[in-house]
Structure 1
Amino acid sequence: MLFLAALWSSPSYDFPVAAAASQKEYPTESGIRAWVDPATPANAQQITTSRGERWQLVMSDEFNTVNRSFRPGDDHLWTSLEKPDGVNGALEVYSHNMTSTKCDDDGTCYFYIEAVDDVSEITVYNSYLNPPQYENVSFFYRAGMVQSWNKFCYQGGLMEVRAQLPGALSKNSGNPDLALGNSGRVTSGSYYPTWPGIWMMGNLGRAIFSASTSRMWPFSYNKCEPDIFDPTNQRISACDDDPGYGLNQNQGRGAPEIDILEGGGVAISSSLQIAPGMPSEFRLFPAEKKYDAENMYCVYQYNCETPGANLIDIPTAYYEKERGHKSWYQGLRYASNNFCGPSADEKQDIDTIKASLKAGITDNTCTVETCPASLDPNSNLELIDGVGSDYWGINSNGTCFPVMNSYMGSYLCDPDNTDEKCLEPRNATTPKSNSMEPFNYQMDAISANWPVHLGAYTDYFVYQVEWVTGENGYVRWVGAGQPLFEVTAEAFSVVPMNDKKNNPQKLMLEEPMSIIFNVALSRSWGAAPPNPGRECRGDGTDETVNKICDEFPMFLKIDYIRLYQDPKGNRGKDDYMQVGCDPASHPTREWIQGHLDEYEDFDNPWTEVVGKGFCETDNDCTIGKNGSRKLVTGKCVESRCVCSYPDSWGGPRCTIALAEESTGTGSITQRTYGPSMTISLSVAIVSLLSTFIAAWMSVQTLKKQADEAIRTAEAKKLEQLRPSFPTSMKLSLSEYETPQPKDNYSQNFL
């Protein structure tokens, strides 16, 4: 009977998968990977990276099935939200019915988020009021957000998304950009009033659930340096010897962010967001009232009169005199969007720009002749990838060129904080609300705004982000195969320093990240709808505005999303290159389970999904054979996997063994899985009962032992989920009884 004990011993898996410690993933019988859509074409199974490496497909969604529902529990990969947006001056409510999939008459199938003008008033809880209380807030639009949070995450890889951005694009809209053709530069920003986003965030935070992101977003910091950064501002700090919840001791954690794209209008922003940010002596000089009293937001037009308030390290001599050290992140890489038509007035050559930088820039701003096209004097000016004739930072073609974003981050505070850097510091005479743990810290947005061509709105365009973790890592943004922006790990680790040595060094982002699609509308950003803060048409007397508002609904469309990784998997101690939301290197599962109320609310429960991956045959939904024996863990039903034993076998293809318990003596390993082991026992009983009655009795004994092992394992897991330190209940009775979101509507965390 030895084969029963070893029947489902671990076969090798040929790709990096980071499963939870209590789970193990097995290959499918057909060979298709767990997260790959079988509709992905054969010629898209591999890709060559910017460094010339050949990576393989590990996740895809072609969105070829119409009318998909993304409500909690309905999809293996995505979850939609029913929730008002509470960040960045949002004007919209997210709803389940604003997102699905469809196919056009020409056969193009796609995921979509619909944005409509729709007025609603919602009662929300605002922790930043004093005292914190519910308030009625008006929203003027309805749109959608879809997340892979806690379902699919990855650490490193090449993400590719083919998308079409929303805008007022019909002949009746009056949009003057339409006359320019697809290569024309978008110039009429008011015709692109939405704020679409395709982005990733660390799984320890859930977008717009601000209780989960407080003191978590966007940390990428793994040092215990109390003299440089107060560790109480980071919820999971490297100073913590015993963080509990299955976390690794002395490992700083957080929920950093990578934006493939966000925004709209005349430019798209590609960025990463991290904390802790640089201190003020490494940032732009703020605009001063004695120079710019009438335009304190002059930095966004680069026309401040205040010295040093437009661009980092410009004027050169002024910064050197005032600081004596460099500022901001060094060696960032920018390159042209050559899908725009060229302009002779914007062409540059490398020799002229290098000579200007060497001599020093004397003006308080930049020109085409004096600065890199990025407006970043500290940017990289080497040959792109060391080949060809194009240089980082130089607009040799005169096409659209990314510029350093004037928005460099925010100073985040709890509502009781009195620090003058806070957006609204508490007056010393105002009593504390004690609504949340205290914090105040700077976060940084390392971002490039790249002018966009009309084709990004009228047609599909391929966006890529290539992300490698570790000390040799980088994040590179690419448009249809052409590099646009890159941040290397060295930019985080070799930062400018002053005599106080107080500029914290961060990690290249390495958290397991989930994926987010959304369309927002905001009064705070460059792309805003007409009459922000009111109904779209206002009083209805402006015909231009009326035509724009008549263009609603507007749609973000995504043809496909694909993720590629190095098949060698973990390539070094800090180069992870794996999929999974709960890897041993960066656990998240027990923390989330221990704080689940911060990640869900009444309308958005966390629902774990078993099966439902897309399939073509039953073999796409079951584990492979072990020798001549086969255990069927799932079947393909109406093109989606249905797991036969959902308490024991999960994942999108029913290939993750749940509640695994391992014991071993010498080279023999026994694993038990509940019902799946029962099946294997039953098969053996049927085949051996007629001649091995005694063996049958032994099997029953083994089954009892296996069941006991499972109960013991589950008891251990439940014990581990308990926090290793006492917690306190701070909810009042009324809060406990009210099924309303406890997160803060107005808090600007994302």
Structure 2
Amino acid sequence: MPSLPQSPLSPRFPGASPSSPLLASFNPAESQQRDSMASGSSGAGSSGAGRDSYFALSPPPRYRDSAAPSIAPSMAASARDDVVSEWNISATGHLYADGMLVSDPPEPDDELHRPDKFEGSYGRGNIFTARGISNLGFLFLLTGGLVMLFAGWPIYAHYTRPYIPHDDNGYEDTNAIGFNSNAGGNSSSSSGNGGAMQAKGKMPLPQLVDPETPDAAKTKKSFRDGEDWELVFSDEFNTDNRSFYPGDDPYWTAADLHYWGTNDLEWYDPQMATTRDGYLRLQIREADPINNHNMSFMSGMIQSWNKLCFTGGLIEVSVQLPGTSNKPGLWPAVWAMGNLGRAGYGASLDGMWPYTYDHCDVGTLPNQTYPGTSTPLAAVQNGDPSTNNMLSYLPGQRLSACTCPGEPHPGPTLSNGSYVGRAAPEIDIFEALNNAGYGQVSQSAQWAPFNAEYKWLNDSTNLHITDKTVTQLNDYIGGSTQQTTSGLSVTNQDCYELEKGCFSDYGFEYKPGYAEDDAYITWIVNDTAVWGLEAAGLAADPETEIHARPVPFEPMYIIMNLGLSKNFVWNLDLTTLTFPATMLVDWVRVYQPKGSTNVGCDPASAPTKTYIDQHMEAYTNPNLTIWGTNGVPGGAYMQPQPKNSMKDGC
């Protein structure tokens, strides 16, 4: 074997045999010697040489440049060539011996550095081990959970929730479901409307008649003629924790607004209307104005606008009034309004409330006066003292019988091409008050246009009071924005939240139309007709030159609310009231003559759907207060008033 040439490199490989791989000559004695040298135990002056020798004897790392290139330039060419040839030093400066890379052994303290363990096994691992199966299992579970969360649950909810169709604008289209039994040419029945409610092959909505309504309550005798009427709608409120946020309930929607029209002190918030223990709960409480739209009180209102309407019939509710019977201030109410006006949405009510009129005359005009004149005299004298004795400050009936052909109008159209006068009248089941030192309810209807001095024909033929010790006519008969027919009835003083907590039943029965139709309204307390009026009492008035006003033929929706306002209670003293206060409603039920069911918000005789869809912003933006382009943008619904033939020409 040739010996290693003497060169500057020779001290770096003491004891190495150049005829075999560098590590083939490795033995324990040499290892011990190297360790001793590396630790500096070889004696004085040897630590540097020992450390240098130790690193020289260690096998060079794979793919690591050696120190040879930095030394090679100082070597003689022949010596360098001998080293390169003998020790396989590559031209790029990598130093290795035959078999060095293959024999690279693990160090005792480096378990991870085991190249022989994985030699030839790359890409051929086995995942079917306990650990691999566990990892895959958790990945599948995670993936499945995410799929169910973002895809499975929405699909499940879509096919299991009650079907509520929506129109092209994305709003709930309850008129397409079967609520409007007349438009479809069929009638609903008290046994349930599962068939009528079916729509487009989808899952039906809950029945119009609540399955939990007692059988004994599914018919009721008319207070007018004693005929048996059938139940066409009921809600017993027996399901706890119902939500009335928009879109959550098939019949009711909770208001989320300030009822500025009557200067209320509360903000209506959907969270204040819910169900518990078999009752609808409408609560009013004090609130921090910072978190409550700058209002000091928060309360609840629900309404069935554009969802559940009825035309004619009998409606009753069973109620426990809030607070006490002798402390004035709270303003609980249950009432009905024509579907073309939405309570709390000023633009929709502008020129609509409280009209109920179908004639083309001065009664449709602003202030009930002819354009450019102060006539008739009854319209400018003996009216509202707060408006300089003007009888009316109404803007005129927006959708009147005077509307020019082709102008926006919900119809219907008569054979002569004229429109039927349309509006948003109001009939109140009750508004509770305590101004006399004891509990009463005002049961009323609002009218426009107005009689002279707001005096209707309340003679003995047109006015009925069952017991004058219980009920009397209200002294308030109207003002510049409404004419009122109201009866005040004493309530059961025990049926208040802070008294004995019993319930009383309130309602009204009515037939739409005129005197020739035998139209009427009768108000009811605890199954007794307490007072009523005949349509003849709202006959034509020659002093104001208006025609008769009909008992409303508009489809009416239901509103229930608990308010607080000085407009209603002039001597309001908040310090005498207890908050929170809650009005409970046990049930609401609607009856109609057998074979004459008219339940729906879009009947053929008084359609509303198309018109509402065309002006949806006015019905969904409570910040719009008036209708017309002469208003301030942002506060007005910027659509022109329809032309009236009496003041605009056609």
| Shorter-chain TM band | 0.5 to 0.7
> In the alignment, which residue of structure 2 is the partner of 1:256?
425
Does residue 271 (structure 1) correspond to residue 444 (structure 2)? The answer is: yes
> In the alignment, which residue of structure 1 is the partner of 2:474?
405
C-alpha change, 1:729 and 1:447, in structure 2 (3 Å) is closer
Equivalent positions of 1:376-455 (< 5 A) are 379-380=463-464, 392=465, 395=468, 400-412=469-481, 443-455=482-494
Contact 1:83–1:95 (CA<8 Å) still a contact in 2? Answer: yes
Task: Return the match for 2:507 from 451, 454, 464.
Answer: 464
Equivalent positions of 1:632-651 (< 5 A) are none
* Cα offset, 1:565, TM superposition: 0.8
More deviation, 588-597/63-72: 588-597
Contact 1:237–1:252 (CA<8 Å) still a contact in 2? Answer: yes
> In the alignment, which residue of structure 2 is the partner of 1:746?
none
Contact 2:301–2:561 (CA<8 Å) still a contact in 1? Answer: yes
Does residue 110 (structure 1) correspond to residue 246 (structure 2)? The answer is: no
CA distance in 1 between counterparts of 2:240 and 2:570 reads 31
C-alpha change, 1:92 and 1:20, in structure 2 (3 Å) is farther
Task: Return the match for 1:70 from 244, 254, 261.
Answer: 244
CA distance in 1 between counterparts of 2:217 and 2:354 reads 33
Equivalent positions of 1:326-725 (< 5 A) are 327-331=455-459, 379-380=463-464, 392=465, 395=468, 400-412=469-481, 443-457=482-496, 458-470=501-513, 471-493=517-539, 495=540, 497=541, 500=543, 502-526=545-569, 529-530=572-573, 536-537=574-575, 545=576, 548=577, 551-569=578-596, 578-601=598-621
1:237 is paired with a residue of what secondary structure? coil
* Cα offset, 1:222, TM superposition: 0.3
Does residue 163 (structure 1) correspond to residue 319 (structure 2)? The answer is: yes
Amino acid at match of 1:515: I
Q: Name structure 2 gaps, 5 residues minimum.
A: 1-176, 369-394, 414-418, 639-650
C-alpha change, 1:60 and 1:741, in structure 2 (3 Å) is farther
Amino acid at match of 2:412: N
> In the alignment, which residue of structure 1 is the partner of 2:137?
none
Contact 1:166–1:192 (CA<8 Å) still a contact in 2? Answer: no
Amino acid at match of 1:207: A
C-alpha change, 1:407 and 1:119, in structure 2 (3 Å) is farther
Q: What do residues 148-202 of structure 1 show as CA deviations (whole Å, max 9, x unaligned)? A: 000010101111111100014xxxxxxxxxxxxxxxxx5x3xx242100100000
CA distance in 1 between counterparts of 2:356 and 2:204 reads 36
C-alpha change, 1:394 and 1:516, in structure 2 (3 Å) is closer
1:579 is paired with a residue of what secondary structure? coil
Amino acid at match of 2:458: Q
Contact 2:361–2:546 (CA<8 Å) still a contact in 1? Answer: no
Amino acid at match of 2:255: L
CA distance in 2 between counterparts of 1:246 and 1:85 reads 26
> In the alignment, which residue of structure 2 is the partner of 1:18?
182
2:260 is paired with a residue of what secondary structure? coil
Contact 1:71–1:96 (CA<8 Å) still a contact in 2? Answer: yes
More deviation, 247-256/513-522: 247-256
Does residue 54 (structure 1) correspond to residue 228 (structure 2)? The answer is: yes
> In the alignment, which residue of structure 2 is the partner of 1:153?
309
Q: What do residues 299-327 of structure 1 show as CA deviations (whole Å, max 9, x unaligned)? A: xxxxxxxxxxxxxxxxxxxxxxxxxxxx5
CA distance in 2 between counterparts of 1:197 and 1:602 reads 20
* Cα offset, 1:215, TM superposition: 0.5
* Cα offset, 1:601, TM superposition: 2.5
The TM-score with structure 2 as length reference comes to 0.57
* Cα offset, 1:394, TM superposition: 5.6
> In the alignment, which residue of structure 1 is the partner of 2:335?
199
> In the alignment, which residue of structure 1 is the partner of 2:384?
none
CA distance in 2 between counterparts of 1:729 and 1:101 reads 42
RMSD: 3.5
2:261 is paired with a residue of what secondary structure? coil
CA distance in 1 between counterparts of 2:622 and 2:341 reads 18
Amino acid at match of 2:337: M
* Cα offset, 1:138, TM superposition: 4.8
CA distance in 2 between counterparts of 1:603 and 1:505 reads 34
* Cα offset, 1:404, TM superposition: 1.5
Contact 1:160–1:563 (CA<8 Å) still a contact in 2? Answer: yes
Task: Return the match for 1:235 from 380, 398, 404.
Answer: 398
> In the alignment, which residue of structure 2 is the partner of 1:211?
347
* Cα offset, 1:511, TM superposition: 0.5
C-alpha change, 1:47 and 1:227, in structure 2 (3 Å) is closer
C-alpha change, 1:401 and 1:228, in structure 2 (3 Å) is same
* Cα offset, 1:473, TM superposition: 1.6
CA distance in 1 between counterparts of 2:622 and 2:363 reads 42
* Cα offset, 1:28, TM superposition: 6.3
* Cα offset, 1:139, TM superposition: 2.7
Contact 1:61–1:561 (CA<8 Å) still a contact in 2? Answer: yes
CA distance in 1 between counterparts of 2:460 and 2:250 reads 37
2:196 is paired with a residue of what secondary structure? coil
> In the alignment, which residue of structure 2 is the partner of 1:307?
none
* Cα offset, 1:379, TM superposition: 4.3
1:27 is paired with a residue of what secondary structure? helix
Contact 1:245–1:594 (CA<8 Å) still a contact in 2? Answer: no
Contact 2:363–2:546 (CA<8 Å) still a contact in 1? Answer: no
* Cα offset, 1:89, TM superposition: 2.7
Amino acid at match of 2:411: L
Contact 1:15–1:567 (CA<8 Å) still a contact in 2? Answer: no
Between structure 1 and structure 2, the one with the greater Rg is: 2
Contact 2:629–2:637 (CA<8 Å) still a contact in 1? Answer: no
Amino acid at match of 2:181: V
C-alpha change, 1:227 and 1:516, in structure 2 (3 Å) is closer
* Cα offset, 1:66, TM superposition: 0.3
The TM-score with structure 1 as length reference comes to 0.50
Aligned residues, how many? 405
Contact 2:338–2:425 (CA<8 Å) still a contact in 1? Answer: yes
CA distance in 2 between counterparts of 1:276 and 1:80 reads 31
* Cα offset, 1:16, TM superposition: 8.1
* Structure ranking higher on relative contact order (CA contacts 8 Å, 6+ apart): 1
More deviation, 207-216/34-43: 34-43
Task: Return the match for 2:257 from 75, 83, 106.
Answer: 83
CA distance in 2 between counterparts of 1:41 and 1:227 reads 46
